[in-house]
Amino acid sequence: MDRVEINIDQNSIPTDHMTTSMIDSEFYKCVRRDNIEEFKSRVLLRKHLIEKLVTPCGNTLLHVAVSYGSDEIIAYLTKEFPVLITTQNSQEDTVLHLAAREGKAEEDTVPSHAIKSLVESNPSVVRMTNEKGNTPLHDAVIKGNGELAIFLASKDPEVAYYNNKNGRSPLYLAVENGNKKGILDDLLKSKGEDGDALPKGKSPVHAAIERRDIGILEKIVEAKPELLRLTDEELGNSLHYASSIGFLEGVKFLLDKFLNGAYERNSEGNYPIHIACKNDSVDVVKDPKVVEPLVNATDKFGNTPLHLAACFGRPMASFVLVRDKRVERFIVNNEKWTPYDLAEQQSKIVEEEFDIANEMTVVERQKFDSKKSIPADETKGKEAGSEEIAVNYFEAVMSLSILYFHACPKRSLSELFPVKRPMPLRGEEMKSLLGNLLVAAVLVAGVTFAGAIQLPQLRENNNPGDIHHELNSTSLNSSHENLLYGYLFLDVGALSTSLMAALILLWSNFNDPKFQIHAVVFSTYLVFLAIIMMFGAFFFSVKIALLGSHGGSLAVTITVVAVMFFIYLASLVIHWMNPAFVHQIFLQLLLHCCYYIYFFLFIHGEWWLAHKLNDHPKRSSRY
């Protein structure tokens, strides 16, 4: 028999044993050899001290005998000194605690007749707890001592429901250990009723859910279905917990056996479907059997599952719910907020937290680089916090983008395009803006004037008569003339508009300051238009220069590049000419499109691919 090591550290001697006597080496020899005759003879010599003989850590002779498995000495001490049965050492372990921890985890130790007699003589020892709050049955289950666990449960079935200081009962521990050696089966067969402490502790059903073990759930339902009703103070009932970790098989099983649990609220006022949305348990949210009863149910704050998915930044849950036709996408909570409004508000809060975290991280890193005064472990922990916020920010914005396209309330034109008067500029700012625009207008005018001056030279270098004589092509004449007219139109137009803008700006310097704002706005449009026309004139001049050349691929390449740059330039001009609120709407739409595409390609795509790969082996096994 394997032996439990006894701690004899002098520092662990409790104060209440300082006046007691120490067990001498001769007693140890007798106990180790289970030499009952010699042991009795020594006991007779010190009979009045037997109950006070202890090791430095408070173990009595009965503790030592149990640790060595000396059955004859155990039986003798139990009969002659029954008070030793309930005596506890410095760790508050009784002899039965030591017996429960005997043996190896992979072996099953059959309790001896002496241990059984010990329990029979004083059944109260079964309920005694040590400093961890464990009964002997707790220790037997933890160690995997199945035979003794079965024996103890048969003597006092209620102990199977006693919680230790961690809130774990022997029944919970048996589930947590995966029904090792069938201990759970025997505990479930016990006829004891659940004690008062069990609902306040950890439910064994929750332990089975945590292991995602549907087999253990079936055993619990078959033996004690009432355990499904037990709730955890933090985790809620069994359906709450299964929904929070996305255990779809367990949720379906519990709905079949414990349907009322789906309509129970936890301490925060949430149904299981709300918990699934908070934790982005997509498989649970996507299953129609789970979602249908409470698809639009509200918590105590009036939030539906879609509200909570949006508020907690759960993009997959938001995507699944918002595309479900049964979900009311525009329902409001107690604060009169739709899911989109709540997601928008939450994204602003997370964005502020993200910015603050970034600023703090940068400042701390600068201090560390300059003064070398911040320990490395402190900065490392704070950087990890900022990364966590970054993930939350990214998920919150993706959820908002999904709702923007599927659940954004319709707004009036006055809300989308508010009419705002231009902000007045200070004198220095106005002068600077006028000067910059005037310089740009004069530069464009100078360039286009130089182009107009070079027009006769351009006609001589590309004489249509020479070209016609050389290439013998009538269509080339007409192309040349059209390109020349186009160049002339754009160049003169750019020159005219830029000169007009320059004159307006000069004129505004000698007028009422209020007129300057309108002059700047109008001149800005003219300068932008002149720049576009100047670029067009340049493009026509390049086409004229390439006309009749044999480099067809070069001409095509230059044309394509010129068109691309023209479109880019035009888009910039249009962007600058629009009011600020139009820019915001445009950028908002662009960002939402980017986030939505990223979500659909990577996050939803990864989830879809993973499920397809999981379904493939199942389909293959059918054939």
Pick from 212, 152, 141, 137: nearest CA to 182: 141
pLDDT at 321 over 90: yes
Mean predicted confidence (pLDDT) in 121-148: 94
DSSP notation for 471-527: H--HHHHHHHHHHHHHHHHHHHHHHHHHHHHHHHHHHHTTS-HHHHHHHHHHHHHHH
Pick from 91, 99, 140: nearest CA to 119: 99
Greatest mean pLDDT among 290-294, 484-488, 561-565:
484-488
pLDDT band at 51 (very low <50, low <70, confident <90, very high): confident
Helical segments of 122-230, H only? 136-143, 146-155, 170-176, 183-189, 204-210, 214-223
Instruction: Note whether 438 and 520 are within 8 A (CB).
Output: no
pLDDT band at 131 (very low <50, low <70, confident <90, very high): very high
Long-range contacts of 279-283 (CB under 8 A, 24+ apart): 279/243, 279/244, 279/245, 279/246, 279/314, 280/309, 280/312, 280/314, 280/315, 280/316, 280/317, 281/243, 281/244, 281/245, 281/246, 281/248, 281/317, 282/246, 282/316, 282/317, 282/320, 282/607, 283/246, 283/248
List all residues 6 or more positions away from 225 whose beta carbon is below 8 Å from its beta carbon: 257
pLDDT at 204 over 50: yes
Burial of 485 (0-12, 13-18, 19+ CB in 10 A): exposed
Q: What residue type is assigned to position 399 of the chain?
A: S
pLDDT number for residue 380: 43
Q: What angle do CA 10, 134, 205 make, to 5 degrees?
A: 150
Helix (H) or strand (E) holding 360: helix 339-371
What is the rounded average pLDDT for all residues in the chain?
A: 80
Indicate the range of 128-137, 329-338, 369-378 predicted with least confidence: 369-378
Q: Which residue has the higher pLDDT, 392 or 101?
A: 101
CATH homologous superfamily of 1-136: Ankyrin repeat-containing domain (1.25.40.20)
Q: List the helix and strand counts (H, then E) for the chain.
A: 30, 2
pLDDT number for residue 102: 79
Pick from 106, 107, 93: nearest CA to 64: 93
pLDDT number for residue 257: 93
> The tokens of 145 are what?
């001592």
pLDDT number for residue 11: 37
pTM assigned to the model: 0.68
pLDDT band at 98 (very low <50, low <70, confident <90, very high): very high
Question: Around Cβ 368, how many Cβ atoms within 10 Å?
Answer: 15
Greatest mean pLDDT among 20-24, 273-277, 450-454:
273-277
pLDDT tens-digit series, residues 347-373: 888 888 877 877 766 556 555 455 544
pLDDT tens-digit series, residues 523-560: 888 888 888 888 888 888 877 777 766 556 777 787 78
Q: Which residues pair with 236 in a beta bridge?
A: 232
Give percent of the chain above pLDDT 90: 35
Q: Which residue has the higher pLDDT, 178 or 384?
A: 178
pLDDT number for residue 510: 74
Instruction: Note whether 267 and 276 are within 8 A (CB).
Output: no
Greatest mean pLDDT among 183-192, 286-295, 405-414:
183-192
pLDDT tens-digit series, residues 467-505: 444 444 566 667 777 888 888 898 889 889 999 988 888
Place of tokens 């929070």: 244
Helical segments of 22-105, H only? 25-33, 36-45, 61-68, 71-80, 95-100
pLDDT band at 430 (very low <50, low <70, confident <90, very high): confident
> The tokens of 70 are what?
């000396």
Name the residue ranges covered by the structural domains of the chain. Answer: 1-136, 339-409, 430-577
| The total number of residues written for the chain in this structure | 623
pLDDT band at 97 (very low <50, low <70, confident <90, very high): very high
pLDDT at 613 over 70: yes
Mean predicted confidence (pLDDT) in 113-139: 93
pLDDT at 81 over 60: yes
pLDDT band at 237 (very low <50, low <70, confident <90, very high): very high
If you ran DSSP here, which 8-state letter would residue 422 be given? P
Rounded Cα distance between 224 and 205, Å, is 10
Pick from 81, 85, 90: nearest CA to 55: 90
pLDDT at 7 over 50: no
pLDDT number for residue 517: 78
pLDDT tens-digit series, residues 367-420: 545 554 444 444 344 433 444 444 588 899 999 999 999 999 887 655 555 555
pLDDT number for residue 368: 47
pLDDT band at 64 (very low <50, low <70, confident <90, very high): very high
pLDDT at 13 over 50: no
Place of tokens 């207008």: 441
pLDDT number for residue 130: 96
Indicate the range of 60-69, 514-523, 563-572, 579-588 predicted with least confidence: 579-588
Rounded Cα distance between 109 and 453, Å, is 110
Q: How many CA atoms lie within 13 A of 204 on its CB side?
A: 32
> The tokens of 338 are what?
């739709």
List all residues 6 or more positions away from 62 whose beta carbon is below 8 Å from its beta carbon: 74, 77, 78, 81, 84, 85, 87, 95
pLDDT tens-digit series, residues 243-272: 999 999 999 999 999 999 999 999 889 999
Greatest mean pLDDT among 228-232, 237-241, 456-460:
237-241
Rounded Cα distance between 92 and 119, Å, is 18
